Amino acid sequence: MKKVLVLSMVALFAAGFIFSGSVFGADIELAKKSTIEKILKRGELRVGFESGYIPFEMTNKKGKFIGFDMDFARRMAKAMGVKFVPVNTEWDGIIPALMTDKFDIIMGGMTITQERNLKINFADPYIVVGQTILINKKHEGKVKSIKDLNDPKYIVTSRLGTTGEQAIKKFIPKATYKSFQSEAEAGLEVINGKADALVYDLPFCGHLYASQGKGKTVFLDEPFTYEPLAWAINKGDPDFLNWLNNFLRQSKGDGFYDRVYQKWILGTDWKKELE
């Protein structure tokens, strides 16, 4: 009886060893396929974004890409010991471009949504923003919240394919929606009196109001949606995801995050680089 028990235990141990060995081997193979290994081998970190999302990614007077995300991208490349390679990409095709290996990561102020998360993975959020409203001055005191715009008589603008557009369709489906290829065009339509309201992310609406909208618009700056922004990568890459989350954690712990936030989100000195 004892001999049978011992043999059974040996068999179970052997089976467990073989199983754990196969799992370990699978983990090693997965690690070898990680985007991190490709980045290190290539010597380049290719970052996808679309310039023009203030203050996250912009093009200055010298043609250099600057902004909140761009500072993080350059630091990320430095931490990896590789070259930073910016890949300016049309927003409508940015997820397909990531999935077809046109670049390694999206660092473009992308909001985490369940629809997007079905196609790609997100690192932990690095900032939380929401949708706000910039209304034409003629509606001051009459339009006080998003629900007040739910009427066909109001022309509401946003950028095509963004969460601003989604918010309009969800919260004010009766409004007359007019989409634009850029948030700047959508905002100018309101400033020039050709539309009644812009629905877009808090940082951009705030910048547009401060730079061009005073006296012509009213900024309803209380966000009516919750929108965490995060860096996006392809699915099936836990090693890269782990690296990104630890990179973000380190950046917050050593003061880098606070400096970048103060510079781009709270500060205004960077505007001189665009003028």
Domain definitions of the chain by residue range: 35-128+228-273, 152-223
120 CB contacts (<8 Å, ≥6 apart)?
Answer: 95, 98, 99, 106, 232, 233, 234, 235
Check if the beta carbon of residue 90 is closer than 8 Å to that of residue 51.
no
Check if the beta carbon of residue 73 is closer than 8 Å to that of residue 39.
no
Q: 């690192």: which residue's tokens?
A: 123
Q: How far apart are CA 275 and CA 270, in angstroms?
A: 10
Q: What is the pLDDT of residue 4?
A: 46
pTM: 0.75
Which one-letter amino acid corresponds to residue 213? G
In sequence order, the β-bridge partners of residue 85 are 46
Q: How far apart are CA 152 and CA 104, in angstroms?
A: 43
Closest by Cα among 164, 159, 212 to 188:
212
Which CATH fold topology does 152-223 show? D-Maltodextrin-Binding Protein; domain 2 (3.40.190)
Tell me the CATH architecture of domain 35-128+228-273: 3-Layer(aba) Sandwich (3.40)
Q: What is the pLDDT of residue 266?
A: 77
Q: Cα angle at 146 between 111 and 164, to 5 degrees?
A: 25
Q: What is the pLDDT of residue 150?
A: 98
Q: What is the pLDDT of residue 21?
A: 54
Q: How far apart are CA 215 and CA 217, in angstroms?
A: 6
Q: How far apart are CA 35 and CA 261, in angstroms?
A: 28
- Could you list the mean pLDDT of each consecutive 10-residue stretch along the chain, which spans 275 residues? 47 51 57 88 98 93 96 98 98 96 97 95 95 97 96 97 95 98 95 98 89 93 93 96 98 97 87 86
Q: What is the pLDDT of residue 267?
A: 81
Q: What is the pLDDT of residue 231?
A: 98
Q: What is the pLDDT of residue 101?
A: 97
- In Å, the largest CA–CA distance within the chain is 93
Q: What is the pLDDT of residue 210?
A: 84
Check if the beta carbon of residue 158 is closer than 8 Å to that of residue 208.
no
- CA torsion 116→120→121→126, rounded to 10°? -60
Q: What is the pLDDT of residue 24?
A: 45
Q: How many CB atoms lie within 10 A of CB 89?
A: 21
